[in-house]
Amino acid sequence: MSGSGHRVWAEVDLSALRRNMARVLSCLRPGAAVLAVVKADAYGHGAVPVARALAGEPGLWGFGVGDSQEALELRAAGITAPILILGTIIPEEEAQVVSHDVRVCVHSMERIATLEDESRRQGRRTRVHVMVDTGMGRLGALPGRAAELARAVAASRWLELEGIASHMSAGRPGHPFTGVQRDRLLGVLADLQSDHIEPPLVHFANTAAILGGEGCNQPLVRPGISLYGVLGPDLAHIANALGLEPVMSLRTQVVYMKDVPAGTPIGYNGTHVTSRQTRVATLPIGYNDGLAYRLSNRGRALVRGACAPIIGSISMDYTMLDVGDIPGVRVGDTVTFIGRDGELAIGIPELASIVGTIPYEIACSVGKRVHRLYVREGQPPPGAAAAEPEPLAVPPAEAVPAGHCAAAPRPSRRASPARVVHDAGAVEAPGVSAGNARRVRAPRAVGVRRKAARGGAGRTDRSAGADRAAGADRAGGADRADRAGGADAA
């Protein structure tokens, strides 16, 4: 029986989160700090509990969010660490960020001017980071204009130039374009140095740049997805070598069971018709909870330590499993869509590969109505809803073949089983000496076991339409995917 008291719940293992943070730190130079990216509700894990769990951890400098609402949510929860809005703010957000001591990235002279006005009006200085577009093509001033922005901030009485930043576009480690972007950022820094402007913080490294080595010698890095232990195929071997663990599991419980004869259509449009007499388990989880529609007739779930196929179309609130081959399944049994059940596990990256998306999207899609159950070393924190009597921490899934449930060894909990170190060029930010650079050996590749995804039977027009739409999206991204080696980021 599930005993969680919830229809659908996501277990978020805060101990695994902290271990991931320590493992990310272990690939950095001594004394380096982390700006933990908790935007998009900490990639679906819950920004406030995640920030509370990381606040005060060794090496934590502050938190990166997407907008002022996310920043204020953290402040309201009592987070006093630095918070930086990584994107851009709109004029309506200025008053709140200034009054709540939220740092902002700036991208234009216009924003600098309005932010300065607001800071003057409130009589409070605002710390800003100038964002340089070194090749992302999204936000940020082009390198030729960035120094001008930094000088304007440095000259302002009401603004403080706390940092210079950029964002890397490549999603796979060691991509040559990351080095190009890093060098463009260095050019801006050199330009400023000639004016004796040396912002205390310089940062550009996301997970791919950290694990790829370009971020290893940086004083401040901005990991997101690595903290949550959800790495796509391009980063999986390094993540495994480092011992990064998935933090979130997604579970539900069987709410209805029935025996059906051969020839029974299941779900909308009867996209699955039973080929034998079997047992169908109905689960109160649907695409509104983050179970991607494209898993219809393709995905699997774990129940009683065994693997059961999703049959029929996933609907908004319900999903069906064929549990005819699993003895003893009954109403109330726990069903796992992400995470471990006994010796089997399903990981977010595998779901992403079946669905044709990136792990980020799967993690961020876990719906609002899904109850988050926070656990530490197997125990819910004080005040959390009562949960399973057995330890709840879900040992990390390692590698699960796409579309299948697979036996997954339980990785060791030892910190940093393999230090990942790199030879890649390090950015010499002001104040960072080359002597601090850590010499490294190549990451040990840990095999990821994969099988081909099994195609679903009886696909409908509706699901074929969804496929086409997804294919069109992917085609639209071909240029970027080429540069990023097919990987992606948020």
Q: Which residues are catalytic?
A: 39, 268
Instruction: Please pick, from the candidates 181, 207, 357, 460, the single residue that binds ligand PLP as defined by CB under 6 A.
Output: 207
CB 408 within 8 A of CB 398: yes
Our CB check for ligand PLP shows the closer of 321 and 484 to be: 484
Question: Would you count residue 223 as binding ligand PLP (CB under 6 A)?
Answer: yes
Q: Which residue has the tokens 């003895």?
A: 327
- Using CB under 6 A, count the residues that bind ligand PLP: 14
Q: What angle do CA 379, 385, 386 make, to 5 degrees?
A: 60
Interaction of residue 2 with ligand PLP, rule CB under 6 A: no
- 355 φ/ψ sector (left φ>0, alpha ψ -120 to 50, else beta): alpha
Q: What is the x/- site pattern for ligand PLP, positions 20-39, by CB under 6 A?
A: -----------------x--
Stretch that binds ligand PLP, among 9-17, 23-31, 224-232, 402-410 (CB under 6 A): 224-232
43 to 102, contacts with ligand PLP by CB under 6 A? Answer: 64, 86
CB nearer to ligand PLP: pick between 64 and 229 = 64
Residue with structure tokens 């934590």? 60
* Structure token digits, residue 192: 């400023």
* 30: amino acid identity, one letter: P
Please select the residue that binds ligand PLP; options are 46, 212, 213, 224, rule is CB under 6 A: 224
Residue 19 near ligand PLP by CB under 6 A: no
Q: Identify the CA nearest to 25 among candidates 73, 53, 57, 66.
A: 57
Per DSSP, helices labelled H in 143-232 are 143-155, 176-193, 207-212
Give whichever of 171 and 395 is closer to ligand PLP, judged by the CB atom: 171
Identify the residue whose tokens are 């044709």.
356
Q: How far is the CB of 62 from ligand PLP (least distance, A)?
A: 13
- Distances from the Cα of 441 to the Cα of 34, 267, 403, 426, angstroms: 23, 53, 34, 15
490 near ligand PLP, rule: CB under 6 A: yes
CA 235, 237, 238: angle at the middle one, nearest 5?
A: 70
Cβ closest to ligand PLP, residue 321 vs residue 363:
363
17 is an interface residue for ligand PLP by CB under 6 A? no
Task: Find the DSSP H helices in 271-388.
Answer: 348-355, 359-365
Gyration radius from the chain CA atoms: 24
Number of Cβ within a 10 Å radius of residue 430: 16
Query: Residue 252 Cβ, how far from ligand PLP at the closest point, in Å?
Result: 27
* String marking each residue 144-183 x if it binds ligand PLP according to CB under 6 A: -----------------------x----------------
Residue 285 or 490 having the CB closest to ligand PLP:
490
Residues in contact with ligand PLP by the rule CB under 6 A: 37, 64, 86, 167, 206-208, 222-226, 489-490
